[in-house]
Amino acid sequence: MFRLTAFYLFLLLLLSPLPVVHATEAVVTDCTTYGPGSGTLEDALATGDTITFACSGTIIVPLITIATSTTIDATGQTVILSGNDSNPIFSLYGIDEWTVTLTLINLTLTDGYTPGSGGAIIVRWNKLVLQDTFIRDSYAAEHGGAVSVIKGVYGGGGVDMIGGGLINNSAGNQGGAIATDYGYIRVKHTVIDHNSALYGGAFYADGFIRATDSTFSNNEANKGGAIYNFAFWGGGIVEITNSTFSNNRAVGENSQGGALFQNVSDNQYYIFSSTFYGNSADEGGTVYSASASTVYLINSLIAASTGDDCAGKPHHYVSRNSLATGLCGTEAPTGIDPVLQDNGGPTMTHALLEGSNAIDANAVCPPFFADQRGMVRPADGDGDGQEVCDIGAYEYGTASGAPLRNHFTAPDYDPITLTWGAVDWAIAYEIEISRTPDFSDVIKNSVATADTLELQLNSGPDGINKNGPYYWHVRAQRPDQSWGEWSATDSFIVDVNSRYWFF
């Protein structure tokens, strides 16, 4: 974990405080054409830096160059931007490129195309934030079927996704969904499904990846059906928490790493509380490590691989509290539902079945005390009265009456908005924010009538004004004024000086 912290400090040193910019809003009222003309997207982009929509529709667009920070928010409408299989949709490019952020909210991008890299979006030294946004059916002949990130390290550039998904994108060479040439990829509550490439069916990373509460399914490549970790200069850290990898495949001659492939020394995989099911390859049906760097498998399970669970360099797998075989364990998991399906929460999961050896098998709970779905951990799954965490991304036997779902929908700078799953009977919500995960140091207690709460950095007595982690949870009030159960706990990290929030 120290290395992750150091990595962030390194990034933060590169970031200058964001300038205070007053948004200029523009509303799109014509969803039939890109432009020109009053009320078109072209007109709105020329006059505003925050674009909203008063219409729904599919707009065929040319390649749109974003040179200043812009938010495009289709909340309340259904808006699809299409490259019509002839061009990418956005290119981020500015004079001071590291200050440019494109934020897309509740949009779908489809049918991007490029003979080069970045089928739907080309990111240079800048930041892309995708919030409840889907990119699908896009193609790059080289790298990054959906998104290509080029030389992001100089400005901390990269991609943040919260919600939404990357579906059915492909690339001729690296990264069916996203390829980075330095830079970061962070996804949370995201679906990454049916993407393909030669190397890294979903992600090809020369940089940092964090995947939390996300599902990678049906992705395909020759090496690294889901993720290919390649950082030539080191620092290629892939952190996977509370996530599911299902039916990813390495195919073709000498196929390796059905889900994960590791190349080059000094890179690491840290895998926490995750579930791998039905991944396949000639060698390393789930993981293949081709280098003298380390794969840490913690509180995780690997089931139903075709080809050994883990293969490659033998001395660089570290497995703790995990159920797997091959180079990464000695005991296989039992009682895993073979069907990837909606078991609650924003992404699909493989449920544990009654009697599974993963139930109540781990004395150490993962961070944030929730499973991939947002259900509270630990639950007493074997009925012995002891609440113990399960191995993998799914907690068996969680309490009836689904708890609220924590779901950040925010770009990672001040202010942010916390949101959660609405409860039908709720007349209000209470939100607690604490400096400690046990809520012994609650610094802010708020009541909201909608399912969102805006937070900003401030200096008041209940202010969020210190560096470091914060923890939050929420509960709903019933019509009779009584309160429901607290939700699972989630967290965020604040850097006050740079006004950044990390999730």
CB of 335 to Ca ion, least distance (A): 13
Instruction: Select 386 or 458, whichever has its Cβ closest to Ca ion.
Output: 386
In whole angstroms, the minimum distance from the beta carbon of 356 to Ca ion comes to: 10
To Ca ion, the closest distance from the beta carbon of 397 in angstroms equals 7
Would you give the binding string for Ca ion spanning residues 215-254, x where CB under 5 A is met?
----------------------------------------
Residues 17-76, interacting with Ca ion (CB under 5 A): none
224 versus 381: smaller Cβ distance to Ca ion: 381
Closer to Ca ion at the Cβ: 385 or 460? 385
Q: What is the dihedral of CA 437, 443, 449, 453, to 10 degrees?
A: -80
Query: What is the arrangement of strands in the sheet containing 452-455, beginning at the earlier edge strand?
Result: 406-408, 416-420, 452-455
Given the complex with Ca ion, which of 382 and 485 has the nearer CB atom? 382
**Which residue is listed with tokens 């989630």?**
490
Tokens 């490590």 belong to residue = 289
Minimum CB distance to Ca ion, residue 390 (Å): 4
Using CB atoms, what's the residue nearest to Ca ion? 381
- By C-beta, is 266 or 382 nearer to Ca ion? 382
Question: Shortest distance, CB of residue 385 to Ca ion, whole angstroms?
Answer: 7
Measured from the CB atom, is 112 or 378 closer to Ca ion? Answer: 378
Query: Which of positions 300-359 make contact with Ca ion (CB under 5 A)?
Result: none
**The token pair that represents 300 in the structure block:** 């995780």
Shortest spacing between CB 418 and Ca ion, in angstroms:
27
502 CB-contact burial (10 Å; exposed 0-12 / middle 13-18 / buried 19+) = middle
Instruction: Round to whole Å and give the CA distance between 207 and 82.
Output: 29
Nearer to Ca ion, 183 or 403 (CB): 403
For residue 377, the minimal CB distance to Ca ion (Å) is: 7
**Residue 128, Cβ neighbours under 10 Å: how many?**
27
Nearer to Ca ion, 386 or 467 (CB): 386
| Residue 487: CB minimum distance to Ca ion, A | 18
Distance of CA 459 to the CA centre of its chain: 31
CB of 362 to Ca ion, least distance (A): 8
Dihedrals phi, psi of 415, to nearest 5 degrees: -85, 170
Rg (CA), the chain: 22
State the nearest-atom distance from the C-beta of 304 to Ca ion, in Å. 22
Q: 227: part of which helix (H) or strand (E)?
A: strand 227-229
The nearest distance, CB 382 to Ca ion, in angstroms, is 4
Distance CA 46, CA 199 (A): 38
The Cα 181–Cα 143 span in angstroms is 10
Q: Is the peptide bond before 338 cis (omega within 30 degrees of 0)?
A: no
Q: Which is nearer to Ca ion, 381 or 484 (CB)?
A: 381
Minimum CB separation of residue 329 from Ca ion in Å reads 20
Closest of 470, 472, 467, 473 to residue 500, by C-alpha: 467
8 A C-beta contact, residue 159 and residue 130: yes
Beta carbon nearer to Ca ion, 73 or 395:
395
How many positions of this chain bind Ca ion (CB under 5 A)? 9
Query: Can the peptide bond before residue 366 be classed as cis, meaning omega within 30 degrees of 0?
Result: no
Direct distance between the N- and C-terminal alpha carbons of the chain, in angstroms, rounded to an integer: 15
| The two structure tokens encoding residue 330 | 């000695």
For residues 160 and 390, which CB has a smaller minimum distance to Ca ion in the complex? 390
- Angstrom distance (rounded) from CA 434 to CA 457: 14
Residues 362-391 that bind Ca ion (CB under 5 A): 378-382, 384, 386, 390
**Contact in structure between 366 and 377 (CB atoms under 8 Å):** yes
Distance CA 351, CA 176 (A): 27
Q: Smallest Cα–Cα separation from 277: which of 250, 299, 306? A: 306
Beta bridge partners of 191: 165, 215
Closer CB to Ca ion, residue 59 or residue 352?
352
Tell me how crowded residue 331 is: count the other CB atoms within 10 A of its CB: 12
- When binding is defined by CB under 5 A, the residue of 73, 213, 220, 360 that contacts Ca ion is 360
480 binds Ca ion per the rule CB under 5 A: no
For residue 377, count other CB atoms closer than 10 A to its CB.
22
Q: List residues binding Ca ion (CB under 5 A).
A: 360, 378-382, 384, 386, 390
